Amino acid sequence: MLPTRIDAFRTMLTRQPDHAHARFGLATELAKTGAHEEAVEHFARYLDGFDDEGNGWLRYAESLHALGRDDEAKAAIARGIDAAERHGHAGLVADLEAMRDLLD
């Protein structure tokens, strides 16, 4: 049987636990499968150690929202908007604002 993308990211993190992009990749793949509780843990670790430009904050907020943790999702969106503005990502700011409006 072929390894899944989740398996590949887990293997990468076993070898390099601080590999930010592997951590983000694992969180993203977990979220796609609906494993939001574990995804949130990996998004949080990724965001704690990496200067994300906003997309990670959006994905984190989506998983938090899926878990019904909307106050935390709103806080993540605010951090994401700050990051996206700092990095000049106007489209991402709009995506984050749209999600914020959805939660209000």
Tell me how long the chain is. 104
Across the range 90-101, mean pLDDT stands at 98
Stated pTM of the model: 0.94
In the predicted model, is pLDDT for residue 56 greater than 60? Answer: yes
Cβ contacts of residue 51 below 8 Å, gap of 6+?
83
| Residue pLDDT, tens place only, 1-20 | 567 999 999 999 999 999 99
In the predicted model, is pLDDT for residue 21 greater than 70?
A: yes
pLDDT (0 to 100) of residue 1: 57
- Please give the sequence-ordered ranges of beta strands (E in DSSP) within 7-75, or none if there are none: none
Mean pLDDT of the residues in the chain? 96
As given in the structure block, the two tokens for residue 27 are 């969180």
CATH of the domain at 74: 1.25.40.10
The tally of domains found in the chain comes to 1
List the domain range (segments joined by +) for residue 58.
Answer: 5-103
pLDDT tens sequence across 29-45: 999 999 999 999 999 99
Q: Is the pLDDT of residue 88 over 80?
A: yes
